[in-house]
Amino acid sequence: MPIVDSITVTAELRARHLGIVIRDYAIRRLYSTEQRVFFDCDGDARRCLTDVLTGTGYQRFVAYAVTEDDTGRRTLLDVSYANTGKETLEKFIKRYPTQLKPAAEMALQLSSGKYLEYVGASYS
């Protein structure tokens, strides 16, 4: 489970998407490259990641995606989803591509935007 600082991820995004707008304060400190999860931890990062993935007490989940508006401006968009079923982040991550991502893509298309790239998920 490779884990890196989220600064590494945002730097890579800035290199690939010149001029991208990223609200760095809205991103948690660490990132799992395997699960594509942003998370915070003050101890053993692998242990924290396991706890984050299997915890059920989250009120909301967040999906991060690179989007582009009709002017060509790119943004790292964070979309929040209520955790009404008390599910785990691990389950949300598996469910997102088939059940939630299509709706996000359609909403962007309706506003003349584009969904370019899924970056990862988090919790709140």
Asked if residues 8 and 31 have their Cβ atoms less than 8 Å apart, the reply is yes
- Where in the sequence is the domain holding 27, given as residue range(s)? 3-123
Q: Which pTM does this prediction carry? A: 0.93
Average pLDDT, the chain: 95
Q: How confident is the model at residue 85 (pLDDT cuts 50, 70, 90)?
A: confident
Q: Which two tokens stand for residue 21?
A: 């707008």
Count: domains in the chain: 1
pLDDT at 86: 87
Has residue 50 got a pLDDT over 70?
yes
According to DSSP, the residues that pair with 78 across neighbouring strands are: 64
Please classify residue 113 by burial: count the beta carbons closer than 10 Å to its beta carbon, then call 0-12 exposed, 13-18 middle and 19+ buried: middle
